Amino acid sequence: MSTPVNIILSWLAVSDIITMMSYVPFSMHFYCMYPDVNKTPDKNSKSWMTYMTFHINLAATTHTVSIWLCVLLAIVRFVHIRSPTKAFATRRRRMTQSKVLILLIYVWSAISLIPNYMSNELQENLNPESNETTYVLRDLRLGKNDTDALVLVNVWMYAVTAKLVPCLLMSIFGSLLIYNIHVKIRHRRKVLKISGANSMRLTEHSRTTKMLVSVILLFLVTELPQGVLIVCSATVKDFFDTVYLPLGDVMDIVALINNAVNFILYCTMSTKFRETFVHLFCACHFPHSNESIGYTLTDRLAKLDSHSNNNEHQNHINHVV
């Protein structure tokens, strides 16, 4: 499990889980308990509208983290395929670099969305007829002539840094990744006499790459249209009210489905990720499974990698001779 790719996948799963957990109380209150579109003191109370503001900011932050981790995933995988190494010092350095980059992504995502946090404000509305007080989010007035400068800065920063630029980078490195994987696998099949262990390693290699490409494509399908819609909201008059807001729930559902599908892809296409997940979360159901074979799952995976590396090294020597 201790590889740059799997560490990034783990923290990507963390950000996706936080995003989805934030939606649970939000959806229960605003869509299940009070499905009516009308504003009421119970539905639009100060406490629940404060939570809505928190939810909007948190979901935007964690989703930005997810998309940049996906970019990092493509870059790290491309670097590994382009220049693989078995040197312990190099692999350890790449591990450290990946951890630092993950931390920077989390911090940068929070800092870059400060204008978004400042733009989302609550307003108190008093109904003079019923003498009831409700709370609503301040109108951003996107696409109007009097749009606040902070709102425009927020919209453009979010569209560019959290949508368009990541999608461009994922397209570039995703294409390079697919090309290099295809070349590497074709070359290895030609040059090497693949043993059983090497075949297993090649299959795992190909499966992991398919998983990463699937994650990248899902993010592109989910995020690129939303980035275009955000830009149109800032540039086209009344586009935000007439097009973007009505599509808001649809975009949220698509993003949540994307998060759920991503986790399924991690488990089905990466053997090590799946086995480690089962080992961590299902250990209580199989308390003696590792003892019966004499070593832990981590030891077994390390032994498999070591055996595969030795076979590959021996095959390379035989080929040279």
Domain count of the fold of the chain: 1
Whole-structure pTM value:
0.77
pLDDT of residue 99: 92
Residue 295: predicted pLDDT? 36
User: What pLDDT does residue 291 have?
Assistant: 40
Beta strands in 99-240 (DSSP E): 122-127, 132-137
Q: Are strands 122-127 and 132-137 parallel, antiparallel or unpaired?
A: antiparallel
Q: What does the pLDDT read at residue 65?
A: 94
pLDDT of residue 212: 67
- The predicted pLDDT at position 204 comes to 62
Query: What pLDDT score does 304 carry?
Result: 40
Q: Residue 278 is part of which domain span?
A: 4-320
Contact 228, 244 (CB under 8 A): no
Give mean pLDDT in consecutive 10-residue pieces for the chain, a chain of 321 residues: 79 88 91 87 91 94 91 86 72 87 95 91 84 87 82 91 92 83 73 56 64 76 89 88 87 82 67 66 52 38 41 40 36
Give me the CATH number covering residue 50: 1.20.1070.10
Distances (CA, A) of 71 to 75, 111, 165, 177, 292: 6, 18, 10, 12, 41
